[in-house]
Amino acid sequence: MNEKDLLKKHYFEIFSEKENRPYWAVKKKNNEEIVNPSIPFVGNDYNETRILLYGSTENLAKYNGHLDNNEIAHNRHRLWFDKNSNGRFFPNVHIAPIDNGPLVNIMAYVAMKTVQDINLESPKQFLEKVAFGNFGKFSIEVMNGETNMDYAGDYNKLAKSIEYIKADLTVLKPKIVIIPNSIFNHSKVRNLFKKQFPEIQIIPIYQIQQNNINNKDRLQKFKHKDKNELGVLVEWQNHFGGSLKGKTNQNFYSFYSYLDDKLKN
């Protein structure tokens, strides 16, 4: 059984236990069942890096029923990658900071620094060398369906994802995990890695938000990385989407120096 099938098996078993299906999570449109959590995207060449990145928490604020089918929901990041990426510079994986590019560059930079002779031909080719998903496996159901609620600071809600995270780490056996600061700051999350997965190198980072990137006391206290040291990542950064334009795009060059500091420490 390959890693993806093994993850699906574990997720099915975990989801079958009522305590692992939070009452506050987004429900399917055709009944009151909770939308099944997705396993991480696992690149076909993941073993080249064994880098696993976690975004923050699921965002299904504008859910329209497209995940009512369990087979689609179980592995949706791969499905979106394969079916909805044509014509895009950064593949569509149903996680905005990857779809828009910055988390791709962060993973690629970490790979440049930790993997010998890494090939960075294109974002799509590179993503086949890593794994990624959201740490918070469920999305809070919002009455009007319009507002996303990030619960990274609420461990009581994150706790509903811990068994799934354990499955990810057990099956994928990553060497490096990149994770939001706001999640790793919870003592129970830190203890999970320290006690059960001590062999993993953890890189906690700021979330990809304008106020973090442009803040002089957070990322802007690090020098902007010399573009000559970044190779193809400069071109990739020129294609960033969403709010990462203009000043914010230029200030993102400090993120690489911030990662140097994280890797050193």
Q: Which residue has the tokens 């002779």?
A: 117
Predicted structure pTM score: 0.96
Integer angstrom CA distances of residue 40 from 51, 150, 175 = 12, 19, 16
Percent of the chain having pLDDT more than 90?
89
Encode pLDDT of 102-153 as tens digits.
Answer: 999 999 999 999 999 999 999 999 999 999 999 999 999 876 645 678 899 9
Q: Which residue has the tokens 């706001």?
A: 182
Q: How many C-beta atoms lie closer than 10 Å to residue 119's C-beta?
A: 12
DSSP-based three-state secondary structure for 181: helix
Q: Which residue has the tokens 């993973």?
A: 107
- The residue among 107, 142, 140 whose CA lies nearest residue 124 is 107
Encode pLDDT of 35-48 as tens digits.
Answer: 999 999 999 999 99
Encode pLDDT of 161-200 as tens digits.
Answer: 999 999 999 999 999 999 999 999 999 999 999 999 999 9
| Mean pLDDT confidence for 72-91 | 95
φ, ψ of residue 243 to 5 degrees: the values are -90, 5
Q: Give the C-alpha separation, 239 to 90, whole Å.
A: 8
Tell me which amino acid residue 51 is.
Answer: I
Give the pLDDT of residue 144: 62
Q: Give the C-alpha separation, 213 to 57, whole Å.
A: 19
Per the model's pLDDT, the better-predicted residue between 45 and 63 turns out to be 45
Question: Would you list the DSSP string of 79-107?
Answer: HHHHHS-TT-SSPP-S-HHHHTSHHHHHH
